[in-house]
Structure 1
Amino acid sequence: MTFRLYNTLLDVTAILAFVLVAYFVMYSQRVGESTLMILPDSFKQLNTIFLSLIIEAIPFVLIGVLIAGCIQIFVTEEHVKRWIPENKYRAIMMGCLVGAVFPACECGIVPIVRRLVAKGVPLHAGIGFLLTGPLINPIVILSTFMAFGNDIRMAGLRMGVGFIAALLISLFISSFFRSNQLKHTVSGLYGSENTSTGDVSFMDKLKGMCVHSIDEFFDMGKYLIIGAFVAAFVQTYVQAQLLFLFGEGMMGATGVMMGLAFFLSLCSEADAFIGASFSSLFPPTAVLAFLIYGPMIDLKNTIMLLSVFKSKFVFILLLTITVVVFVCTITISLVGR
């Protein structure tokens, strides 16, 4: 009951905000222009960053919720039992491999993982898919190759080190968490019906898929907006120089770049071009950490994960990703000397 009331309040707030914006845009152009003249430049910058994050993420979230709707309707628990190996290590490997060939953004992959885990996919396999999907899919590797002047080395390191890190993180999660760690069952969100079983026509299944996708979009969209706004606020009002104070030495530079990856919340399909721009300021190890850490976890993605999984699990996952990525990139640097 409390969860439904909380969701209702969020929905009402979002509708009121939309109506207010529509009013100023459509019926009060003079008021809008005069308001823009008195607004500080920092607020305009925050608005620009916020809108760019939303516009960048929305297409991938739409793809994600459509896939999640297909999983909800057309994939049954029996399918999951047949496809996912019972052996923990094979299941983790399978999750990481499927993610590696599955083009997805870190925002769009959250609803997919929620549906998979709710359908019975082991949490460790779902986490492997969550980590590798936005990080080493073909589109990301190609963009990395192009961003670094057609240099295969950085793209290969991102793919190899990222895959190893995802395996280690999934293994750690499998050792400490047995249950799915979802805050609530997906069926409890939108009703307990299961249109994937029984004598149901294809058109009814298609309609059910659309209904579930729409519900998923509005459910995840609230947290995407909140996460994008927080990320835009941090980028606007938190001075980047504060991070660079800790950038002395290899470890400090790596930590700084991981912090930038978290707070910038860039889309994994485009972050390689931003990472390449830091090549003259930071060593390759720090840039590699930036490229691996950001797609695995960032600010807006963390907020979306908190809406799906239990808070304790999300914070442990965040800490695990941070430690593993830091150790892996530093180790590769030491081995490569």
Structure 2
Amino acid sequence: MVDQIRDFLLTFSSILWEAMPFIVLGAIVAGILEELLPQQWITKFMPKAPLASAAVGGALGLIFPMCECGIVVVMRRLLKKGLPLSCCIAYMLAGPIMNVVVLLSTYYAFKTHEIDGVRIGVDMVLLRALGGFLIATITGVIVYMMSKKTGVAALVTATAMPSSLPMADDDDAMAPGKPKPLIKRLSNISSTALHDFMDITVFLILGAILAAVAKMSIQPGTIERMSQDQPFLAIPLMMLLAVLMCLCSEADAFVAASFTKMAVSAKLAFLVLGPMLDLKLLMMFTRVFRARLIATIVVCVVTLSLLYSIVIHVTYRPITGPLLWPQGTASPTLPVDKPAPIEEKK
């Protein structure tokens, strides 16, 4: 019992402290966007076509790089500024993957992994980025079609609704041509950042508690052993593990790389789904989205991640040799000892 309590506290605190710096960073960025980013500019910048808008959102992580722990608050501020809902959803899902730091960590985690003598570090980076972009863009288009039928107000909470009118208590609302004093801008940024930080942190704590409880009953070694003889079973198992472990996208590649005897497609499922959906993110979603939209996001990202990983499992090949090694052979990430030649007796 004491060991279980200790494991729970260690898991809970590690998730909380790992996410906290990014929550703070996300709140600060959200405050800056709220104060300095003109609403008219962001609405003019976005393309009108739903597919193009979602695609821009999927690539927006290259401009506003953010871990999944802090991207929810940034996305909510962009939504309030008038960014289309489909674009915001695509950015929220793909942003933690289309992040230079995340892509570099993925490369360094897999740079020494080989399949038939071919290193797959670059392949893993490209496959992860492609999967994140495609899944986020398709989900964004589906959300756009939903919003056309139901309206945005039926999908997002009141705290995330776009604000088209200035607040009545804003001292500068009646004089838009007059520049705000620096101290006023800093005060607004601090106020917005503190509000978003407190609002999201409560649900981060609840998500960390659920993740710590779930992780106590999951043994990664068991999943790895089960997947060796059934590679297609490994894909949903690794997706489940990604949801329960609540890892930061800047460090999850090293965890995936540690599963040395697992198919690459299963590792890819872990790397693509994890930054888009886990227990702490589900709790954070409740502050921005209504239940109907949360259910749609979950169904879309889980289904598309599964299909994408299966397609990679069946079709993808590296430069030479199959990406997925035949059953019964040694893992391609581990060196295989060749038996010494038998000398003939003279």
TM-score range, shorter-chain basis?
Answer: 0.7 to 0.9
The AA in structure 2 aligned to 1:185 is T
For 1:239 and 1:142, the matched residues in 2 are separated by: 28
Q: 1:75·1:196 contact (CA, 8 Å) conserved in 2?
A: no
Counterpart position of 1:270: 251
For 2:92 and 2:285, the matched residues in 1 are separated by: 11
Alignment of 1:257 onto 2:231: no
Q: 2:57·2:137 contact (CA, 8 Å) conserved in 1?
A: no
Q: How far apart are 1:185 and its partner, in Å?
A: 3.1
Q: How far apart are 1:328 and its partner, in Å?
A: 1.1
Counterpart position of 1:102: 64
Structure with bigger helix share is 1
For 2:161 and 2:233, the matched residues in 1 are separated by: 45
Q: 1:101·1:133 contact (CA, 8 Å) conserved in 2?
A: no
Uncovered stretches (5+) of structure 2, i.e. residues with no partner: 113-120, 318-346
Q: 2:90·2:136 contact (CA, 8 Å) conserved in 1?
A: yes
Uncovered stretches (5+) of structure 1, i.e. residues with no partner: 1-38
For 1:237 and 1:210, the matched residues in 2 are separated by: 41
Q: How far apart are 1:278 and its partner, in Å?
A: 1.2
For 1:98 and 1:316, the matched residues in 2 are separated by: 22
Q: TM-score, normalising length from structure 1?
A: 0.82
For 2:47 and 2:210, the matched residues in 1 are separated by: 39
Task: Give CA deviations for 1:61-83 in whole Å, capped at 9, x if unaligned.
Answer: 11101111112222232122222
The AA in structure 2 aligned to 1:256 is L
**Structure of larger gyration radius:** 2
Alignment of 1:47 onto 2:9: yes
Counterpart position of 1:170: 140
261-270 or 149-158, larger mean C-alpha shift: 149-158
Match of 2:272 among 283, 292, 299: 292
Match of 1:56 among 2, 5, 18: 18
Match of 2:84 among 117, 122, 129: 122
Match of 1:144 among 106, 112, 119: 106
For 2:171 and 2:15, the matched residues in 1 are separated by: 35
Match of 2:159 among 185, 199, 204: 185
Q: How far apart are 1:155 and its partner, in Å?
A: 1.4
For 1:137 and 1:208, the matched residues in 2 are separated by: 28
For 1:246 and 1:306, the matched residues in 2 are separated by: 34
RMSD after superposition = 2.4
Q: Are the structure 2 counterparts of residues 305 and 195 from structure 1 closer, same or farther at C-alpha, using a change threshold of 3 Å?
A: farther
Q: 1:244·1:256 contact (CA, 8 Å) conserved in 2?
A: no
For 1:92 and 1:237, the matched residues in 2 are separated by: 38
Alignment of 1:113 onto 2:75: yes
For 1:102 and 1:74, the matched residues in 2 are separated by: 15
Q: How far apart are 1:192 and its partner, in Å?
A: 6.1
The AA in structure 2 aligned to 1:235 is K
Q: How far apart are 1:318 and its partner, in Å?
A: 0.7
The AA in structure 1 aligned to 2:186 is L
Q: Are the structure 2 counterparts of residues 87 and 229 from structure 1 closer, same or farther at C-alpha, using a change threshold of 3 Å?
A: same
Counterpart position of 1:317: 297
Alignment of 1:202 onto 2:164: no
Task: Give CA deviations for 1:232-274 in whole Å, capped at 9, x if unaligned.
Answer: 1111245668867974633311000000000001000000000
Match of 1:70 among 9, 26, 32: 32
Q: TM-score, normalising length from structure 2?
A: 0.80
For 2:161 and 2:304, the matched residues in 1 are separated by: 34
Q: How far apart are 1:188 and its partner, in Å?
A: 11
288-297 or 97-106, larger mean C-alpha shift: 97-106
Q: Are the structure 2 counterparts of residues 336 and 124 from structure 1 closer, same or farther at C-alpha, using a change threshold of 3 Å?
A: same
- Equivalenced residue count is 297
